Amino acid sequence: MSARALLRVAIIDDQALMRAGFRALLDAEDDIEVVGEAADGRAGLDLLREHTPDVALLDITMPVMTGIEATHAIAADPLLAGVRVVILTNYGLDSYVFDALRAGAAGFLLKDTEPAELLRAIRVAADGDALLSPAITRRLIGEFVARPPDRSTAPGLEVLTRREREVTALAARGLSNEEIAVHMVVSPYTAKTHVSRAMIKLGARDRAQLVVFAYESGLVEPRSWGDGSPAPGR
């Protein structure tokens, strides 16, 4: 997306008041355009296919088709490959959100998040460069640490080079491309290239799904670093 292009957003939520609140917030931004609204997942898919926005704000619990079902459908549709899904939930990091991230969502937000955080998250999701916030990343990592790796469903990490495995593990710690670059003593462009190649090889729609793959494959093990975060696996 160029610096001058409008960031196009679709709002899919069964609560009319919630949709209205999101639209009022987004319409006040000069660089964001709301392309439409839908009240259930199936209508939301029709909306996305008509407008192909940059970001879809997607409620996780809706009639007709849930947010998880819609996320699966979006991930499976080549026409929607450029749409970044941000899951909206009232419940925090529960099993539904975990399943949505596995399905291909870029991340999630609580519905009571601060307006500034919502706007920042939409822009970050559209860029595809990072998870939505350090706090959300830590919660996501904590959820994986509490679960054993699910190697039966994990992708084959053998397709990655040593460098790509290293950046994948660092991304799973929640590091940005700039932080990965400092850690590896490379340029931010080189770090971003390694991350992008790892995503392509693993079929990850975005960075959030790359983190899912890192934990489910066992590439990152839940042992503690000095700061309490999990260490990249060897």
pTM for the model stands at 0.70
The full DSSP string for the chain is: --TTSPEEEEEE-S-HHHHHHHHHHHHT-TTEEEEEEESSHHHHHHHHHHH--SEEEEESS-SSS-HHHHHHHHHH-GGGTTPEEEEEESS-S-HHHHHHHHHT--EEEETT--HHHHHHHHHHHHHTSS-S-HHHHHHHHHHHHTS---TTT---GGGS-HHHHHHHHHHHTT--HHHHHHHHTS-HHHHHHHHHHHHHHHT-SSHHHHHHHHHHTTSEEEEE-TTSPEEEP-
The predicted-structure confidence for 30-53, as pLDDT tens digits, reads as follows 999 999 999 999 999 999 999 999
pLDDT of amino acid 234: 35
pLDDT of amino acid 227: 43
pLDDT of amino acid 209: 77
The predicted-structure confidence for 150-168, as pLDDT tens digits, reads as follows 555 556 778 889 999 999 8
Separation between Cα atoms, residue 230 and residue 26, nearest integer Å: 36
* Positions of the chain with pLDDT lower than 50, given as ranges: 1-3, 224-234
pLDDT of amino acid 229: 43
